[in-house]
Amino acid sequence: MSLKIKDLPIEDYWLSGNPSCPGCPASLGLRLLMKTLGPKTIVVIPACCSTIIQGAYPKTSANFPILNIAFAASAAAASGIVEALELKGRSNVNVVVWAGDGGTVDIGLQALSGAAERNENIVYVCYDNEAYMNTGIQRSGATPYGAWTTTTITGKKEHKKNLPLIMAAHGIPYVATASISYPIDFITKLKKASKIYGMKYIHLHSPCPTGWRFPSSKTIEIGRLAVLTGTWVLYEVENGIFKLNPPSNVLIDRNKRKPVRSYIKIQGRFSHLTEKNIDELQRYIDRQWETYLKLLSIGKIY
């Protein structure tokens, strides 16, 4: 039975009045994460926007334990917590990594890959705002083609690194993509992940008003457009079985997908793109879909 908004608990463990920018997807993501997993959860956070939005000592916006840790170290630190808790018979606690895209697809990838290969009992959530936002909008491996950042002032020349599929290639029990604009889908995936033993990886697409140059009221709208244009595809790989989730499943027919133009035209970071650039972005999206449709036809991919 699918989850309803009305069924979600009222309690929040991520507290109001934190220093996040208005319209921040990381703040919303943390709120949903903790609303779903509840207070028996320890969260590891590497350097990222969420380091800051906790607030400063001696206060914290987190009504749950957080271990802050260095940029490259979150999956390893979480491994240590998990093993210590298992040894001490306190395995009823969720151990979560909440990391940005830089800390996941770039500097944190080695530790994440190691933890995945060891199948550590961790829920790893990458909130992907597609650049180093905390240091002021620099290009990351997750920045899409064409996007302006302060280190790609004429637009990024390379496409986004496909980390969820890289994680699936580790053969871990659960990989999912999610979007901040589809909270029920995200929450359902978190609930599922928390019940599976081993490494769970959820990649949460998180439009950032500050870094993407759009009004703070548009965070959800833009995230939704990413899905409706097929730019961001919602899927799960559960025990090797690849499955598109309903919002993306209806887009298998290419004609059902909105053109990428409708997604990028309301974002300042893409305002300089030429028709040629937009065509390249569209071709990339189409190629990605071919890959997903192949995976869908295979069904069990590992």
Residues 4-63 that bind other proteins (CB under 8 A): 5-6, 8, 10, 12-20, 22-25, 27-28, 31-32, 39-42, 44, 51-52, 54-63
| Contact positions with other proteins (CB under 8 A) in 205-264 | 209, 215-221
Q: b or e along 247-267 (b: 16 or more beta carbons within 10 Å of the residue's beta carbon)? A: bbeebeeeeebeebeebbebb
Q: Which of 33, 49, 76, 295 binds other proteins (CB under 8 A)?
A: 76
Could you tell me the two tokens for 105? 């697809």
Whether residue 169 contacts residue 113, with contact meaning beta carbons closer than 8 Å, is answered with no
Q: Closest CB to other proteins among 216 and 239?
A: 216
Considering beta carbons, is residue 58 or 255 the nearer one to other proteins? 58
Query: Rule CB under 8 A: is residue 80 a binding residue for other proteins?
Result: yes
* Residue 188 in the binding site for other proteins (CB under 8 A): no
88 lines the binding site for other proteins (CB under 8 A): yes
Site for other proteins in 135-164 (CB under 8 A): none
Q: What is the DSSP letter of 163?
A: H
User: SS3 letters for 210-249?
Assistant: HHHCCCHHHHHHHHHHHHHCCCCCCEEEECCEEEECHHHH
Q: Which of 1, 48, 85, 237 binds other proteins (CB under 8 A)?
A: 85
Among 83, 138, 151, 169, binds other proteins (CB under 8 A): 83
Q: What is the β-pairing status of strands 241-244 and 123-128? A: unpaired
Which C-beta is closer to other proteins: that of 24 or that of 193? 24
Which residue's CB is nearer to other proteins, number 61 or number 267?
Answer: 61
Cβ 280 to other proteins shortest distance, Å: 30
108-137 binders of other proteins (CB under 8 A): 110-111, 113-114, 117-118
C-alpha to C-alpha distance for 105 and 109, rounded to whole angstroms: 5
Query: Rounded distance, CA 186 to CA 36, Å?
Result: 9
* Among the listed residues 33, 64, 228, 245, the single contact to other proteins using CB under 8 A: 64
Q: Which distant-in-sequence residues (6+ apart) come within 8 Å of 53 by Cβ?
A: 18, 19, 20, 24, 26, 27, 30, 61
User: Which is nearer to other proteins, 1 or 87 (by Cβ)?
Assistant: 87
* Binder of other proteins out of 84, 241, 293, 298 (CB under 8 A): 84
Burial class for 274, CB neighbours closer than 10 Å (0-12, 13-18, 19+): exposed
Q: How many residues bind other proteins (CB under 8 A)?
A: 78
